[in-house]
Amino acid sequence: MNPLFESVGFEENPVYEQLIADIGKQQYSIVENFFIQDEVALLRQMLQEKHQADAFKKAAIGNRVNETIEKSIRGDFILWMDERKANTVEQLFFNRINHLVDYLNRTCFLGILQKEFHYALYPKGTFYKRHIDTFQNDDRRKLSLVCYLNEEDWLPENGGELVLYLNENGEEMEKVIYPFPGRIVIFESQIIEHEVRPVNTARLSITGWLKTR
Ligand SMILES: O=C(O)CCC(=O)C(=O)O
Ligand SMILES: [Fe+2]
């Protein structure tokens, strides 16, 4: 263990340390099994229930101040989550996220004071064109975090890849990430342009942002 951690009674977490190292090196990280399959199944059921109850709305672009709905840019349906009204399944989700945020704040001094998350469902044929997650009128989003809730037998031919556009020594490089269940992707909101390629089967996720005040 890192002697500094030992002296302050801090438990080093190898998964989070890898995530922090990845972000430092390449501005993104992929963590497998952040949620185990049983947890993914519960979160997926919750998303589906809320979707069937017709609680989702067509996602807009821009933030709440200047939002417009633009099907040629993004075709997903979303539902914002409210931590204060979280049910037991959503509490499980937020507990895990808060644990990570606590660790990031203690070790990286990121100053994450706010967060916002929404369920997302991309119906067949939809996509989200190349974009960046910060708004012209608001740069508080620091880290974007996507949790995939698809079925265990999700196939590459289902599409819906997340593509990160990376800059490697001045050259653009595409990092293609499949939305496999349990996987989370975390990346720097202000730097990484990305897109969701067209999906051939409904694609389920929770997406959110860790923000400074
Ligand atoms: O679902 C994903 O993989 C990314 C979604 C995204 O880019 C967004 O909601 O801003
Ligand atoms: Fe995005």
- Domain positions in the chain: 22-211
Let me know if domain 22-211 sits in CATH 3.30.930.10: no
Answer yes or no: is pLDDT of 106 > 70: yes
d(CA 122, ligand 1 centre) in Å: 10
* pLDDT number for residue 71: 74
- Asked whether residue 190 carries a pLDDT value surpassing 80, the answer given is yes
Rounded CA separation 42/64 (Å): 29
Higher local confidence (pLDDT), 25 or 4: 25
Question: Which one of the ligands is nearest to 126 CA?
Answer: 1
Pick the atom of ligand 1 nearest to 160's CA: 3
Q: What is the number of the ligand closest to the CA of 59?
A: 1
**For the CA atoms of the chain, what is the radius of gyration?**
17
d(CA 206, CA 33): 15
Q: CA of 30: how far to CAs of 98, 113, 119, 143, 145, in Å?
A: 18, 23, 19, 13, 10
Pocket test for ligand 1, best of 196, 209, 210, 211 (most atoms within 8 A of CB): 196
Report residue 110's pLDDT band, with 50, 70 and 90 as the boundaries.
confident
Q: 150 CB less than 6 Å from ligand 1?
A: no
* Interface predicted TM-score of the whole assembly (ipTM), two decimals: 0.99
Predicted confidence band of residue 57 (pLDDT cuts 50, 70, 90): confident
Q: CA–CA separation, 75 vs 152, rounded Å?
A: 23
Bridge partners for 74 per DSSP: 128
Q: What is the pTM of this model?
A: 0.93
Output the six-digit token pair for 156.
């590459």
Residue 135 scores a pLDDT above 90: no
For residue 162 and ligand 1, the question of a CB distance below 6 A is answered with yes
Local confidence band at 11 (pLDDT 50, 70, 90 cut-offs) = confident
Ligand 1 lined by 205 (C-beta under 6 Å) = yes
Ligand 1 centroid distance, CA of 157 (Å): 19
State if residue 194 touches ligand 1 by the CB under 6 angstroms criterion: yes
Structure letter (DSSP) for residue 113: -
Q: Under a CB-based contact definition with an 8 Å cutoff, are residues 40 and 32 in contact?
A: no
Q: How far is CA 203 from CA 121, 160, 210, in A?
A: 6, 7, 23
Structure token pair of residue 151: 């079925």
Residue 28 has pLDDT above 80, yes or no: yes
